[in-house]
Amino acid sequence: MGRFLKILGDTFLTEHLYGSKYFPNLGKYFYPYIYVKAMIYTAGADELSLKERQYIQGLVEILLPNNNAQSIENRLEIMSFVEAAVPNSEENISSFLSGSMMTSPVLSRVLIYDVVRASTADGDYSKQERENVHRVCKQLGITENIRKSIEEVSEREQKVAAQKREILFRL
């Protein structure tokens, strides 16, 4: 019963997070360090805040498989990487993110959604973060219109979440 509830919970979270039952398993589709490094690169453009770091760690927790000793070890290793990461916005994005690593346009868009959400997790989407998101989009071949649409969706989601908290938890 416990495993069933875990699967049900993961499905609920990803449907809530991505708007579908699509589950972007980092271990299967991406090199997890590259995915996480892209989020650190963008969110850390102005300094990686505690909320941004926690958001990235939460995604790692949800998106990395947890079905055997090796996957648990990988997850812990990546969590340690996120905890110790020192963002370097001077780094050349192409040194760690190549368009050929992304297996489909959908996965590239999901990455952009995640880097935008990580960058805005602290409530501030700075000019430097926007510029780094733009660089990641350019590297992946994501158009300006798609990037803007993803940013707008993220902004609307944050506003709705704030309204929901206000309605549900107003004392």
pLDDT digits (tens, 9 = 90+) for 1-40: 444 445 444 555 455 555 554 445 454 444 677 888 888 8
- pTM for the model stands at 0.76
Nearest to 146 by CA among 93, 90, 105, 89: 105
pLDDT tens for 104-139 read 788 889 889 999 999 999 999 999 999 999 999 998
Domains of the chain: 25-89+96-169 (1.10.3680.10)
CA 26 to chain centre: 11
- Burial level of 17, CB count in 10 A (0-12/13-18/19+)? buried
Cα–Cα dist 113/62, whole Å: 15
105-120 vs 127-140: helix axis angle to the nearest 10?
A: 170
Residue type (1 letter), 112: I
- Say yes or no to pLDDT of 158 above 80: yes
